[in-house]
A = this chain, B = another copy of it.
Amino acid sequence: MEPVTVDGKAFAPREGNSSQVDLRVNIGSLQLQNPVMTASGTFGYAREFEDFVNLQRLGAVVVKGISLSPRAGNPPPRVVETACGMLNAIGLENVGVERFISDKMPNLSVLGVPVIVNILGDSVEEYQEIARRLAEVESIAAIEVNISCPNVKKGGVAFGTDPQMAAAVTQAVKGVSRAPVIVKLSPNVTDISLMARAVAEAGADAVSLINTLIGMAIDLPTRRPRLANVIGGLSGPAIKPVALRMVYQVAQTVSIPVIGVGGIASADDALEFLLAGASAVQVGTANLVNPRTSEEVVAGISAYFRQHHIASVRDWIGALQVS
């Protein structure tokens, strides 16, 4: 078989069965069979999707953010649709780390798919304590640290907007975690590369981005905010251009793997994020619209690579042609 040249870059087709493509990627010490994950908070505890998705086909599932103590979440309304997107203010409702380990993990660990646990806290100590508890659970494939939360000890400034605080959280979690540590970056910053560099230097094994953009919606008839929480997080196709730009930017800044998130709803979307330099992607809001999306993205990437004779996803990652 001839090597295929695309815009001057040679893509070496894989030997042997040309209908097989190598989709494996590494996130720190974790090897995934393919680069497609689900995004935290949009895939429940995975079981909700068993009727729609063959979970074993996914690269990994990332579960809803877990805090030290259970949280009831925000009063409703918690979600509102916007143009090509949605705002959510779930308020990080979750069962807390203890019940997560006792009630949820046993179910999760038998699904045959790597489970990544998203965590959140109000202080460095809280993040660390959650990570310490999770380190006891062997079947956890990785920790994803959601740093978009406000630091209650530092006057409520979000960990995700201050490089020093983000580095401190990363270091604290990394220090106690057995599994690779992914730090999930907030897009609500002036320079996301700065944040990425800070957490990379603090020892993060990977970064994922983007979390939601902060937004708001107003109900004209009642003259009130449409979310009880007033503001919420914007996600969905509307934010894809912002996510893609930030992934491109960060992938050029840090050498650790970048996981692209934001508005991915199809294999084409995922392929674009990989081109921009992401080593893996997460499907978020699209799961809520079409619960089969994540598996369709895996299948679509395979089909595309077969059709275009791309032997390995590693040849594709970062292959964007910028003249």
Contact = CB atoms under 8 A, between A and B. Distances in A.
Nearest to A6: B223
Interface in A202-257: 213-218, 220, 222-225, 230-231, 234, 236-242, 244-245, 248
B275 A238 contact: no
A130 interface: no
Interface of A: 6-7, 82-85, 87, 161, 188-191, 213-218, 220, 222-225, 230-231, 234, 236-242, 244-245, 248, 263, 268, 271-272, 275-276, 319-323
A284 B320 CA distance: 31
Given A190-B189, A223-B319, A216 B248 contact: yes
A241 B215 contact: yes
Contact of A215 (B7, B217, B218, B242): B242
Contact of A276 (B84, B216, B244): B216
Contact of A237 (B83, B218, B244): B83
A276 B320 contact: no
Contact of A240 (B82, B191, B237, B271): B82
Contacts of A161: 190-191
Nearest to A234: B241
Contacts of A323: 224
Contacts of A224: 7, 320-323
Nearest to A244: B216
A225 B322 contact: yes
A26 B120 CA distance: 45
A160 to B, nearest CB: 9
